[in-house]
Amino acid sequence: MPRWRALPESTDPRVRRLVVELRRLKDHSGLSMVALASRTEFSKSSWERYLNGKVVPPRHAVEAMADACGGDRIGLAALWEVATSATAPGPTPPAPHEPRPSKEAQEPQEHEVSRAVPAETRESPAPGGRPDTGGPDGDRPDDGRPPRRRRPVATVAGVAVVAAGLAVLVAVAVAITWPGSPSGEPEPGTAAATTRVPTSTYSAETFPCYFHLHDGLLYAGHSTTLTDPYHVGITVEAVAEVQCLVRRHGFDPKGIDGSFGPNTRAAVQAFQRSRGLTADGIVGPVTWRELRNPGD
């Protein structure tokens, strides 16, 4: 697998953390950019921009990648929330000549004024028979100026709710990140750098087999691993790689659905016996080597 290009030093740490996690997920799935584009609604060039840190991907792109690569939608969505908060524009400061809000602009809202002032007082016409348009229910003040725009009154409770929500997002993002190097990627030999095989990330579905040879090894388009262990109870796209290869060698798993069930286990055991291996139904490094062997 080729190494990723280093992210620019100016990249915000929160954006860097999201991009590094997306890169790790893609590498673990074994999918190429073309295969990733074919499984999502985003093009190959879009994924190259997202994964090289040129632009922060939209939320539905992050979720689509989690579904295609067997990742954690909730964790990636939390990272996306934190990353987009780093790139969100701040409030625009007032122009130097803009006057400070008057005391009247900070008065209670219209419905509060209407409760305090009797209806007879508010609806009585001004002297001369013309309705008084300068009050809260009028269209325009007497001096011809446009009516003031009502400003919502922020409450302490609303500010507390927003602060609590941001705190939860930051806590989730920190919980799913790993200790890494200054560039944001995991250090070799740490627990975070150890390959983890997800056990169930989506419902089973039918996958096609894209057989091709690379460096004398056989691949089916769903994973490039030579070591990750797979066994009964795991549902990820890499299991479709096992099913394609074992069927290519003449042992039918009764479907290519990405779910390692009893039929897949029986096909793997029959394949292992045909190669003189221990027929335990577990696809480990030795069985992978035989599955990748194109044979005659």
- In order of their start, the domains of the chain are 13-89+167-193 (1.10.260), 113-143 (no CATH), 212-292 (1.10.101.10)
Handedness of CA 171, 172, 174, 179 (dihedral sign): positive
pLDDT of residue 204: 59
Average pLDDT over residues 159-180: 54
**CA pair distance 14, 85, nearest whole angstrom:** 9
Quote the pLDDT of residue 81.
87
- Residue 102 vs residues 98, 106, 108: alpha-carbon distances, Å: 12, 7, 13
- C-alpha count within 13 angstroms, C-beta hemisphere, residue 208: 6
pLDDT for residue 261? 95
Tokens of 271: 């394949």
Min mean pLDDT across 84-88, 233-237, 241-245 is at 84-88
- Percentage of the chain modeled with pLDDT above 90: 31
Distance, in Å, from the CA atom of 249 to the CA atom of 260, rounded to the nearest integer, reads: 17
Lowest mean pLDDT among 33-37, 86-90, 173-177: 173-177
pLDDT band at 21 (very low <50, low <70, confident <90, very high): confident
Largest CA distance in the chain: 108
C-alpha to C-alpha distance for 75 and 63, rounded to whole angstroms: 10
Judged against a pLDDT cut of 70, whether residue 147 lies above it is answered with: no
Backbone angles phi and psi of 67, in degrees to 5: -70, -40
User: Is 60 exceeded by the pLDDT of residue 195?
Assistant: no
pLDDT class for 175, splitting at 50, 70, 90? very low
* Confidence band, pLDDT 50/70/90 cuts, at residue 276: very high
State the pLDDT confidence band at 138, using cuts at 50, 70 and 90. very low
- Token reading at 14: 């929160």
In this structure, how many other beta carbons lie within 10 angstroms of the beta carbon of residue 220?
23
On the 0-12 / 13-18 / 19+ scale of CB atoms within 10 A, 135 is middle
pTM of whole model > 0.75?
no
With H, G, I as helix, E, B as strand and everything else as coil, classify residue 16: helix
Query: By the 8 A CB rule, do 222 and 244 touch?
Result: yes
pLDDT at 145: 58
pLDDT, mean of residues 105-120: 46
* Run of H or E including 212: strand 212-214
What radius of gyration, in Å, describes the C-alpha atoms of the chain? 31
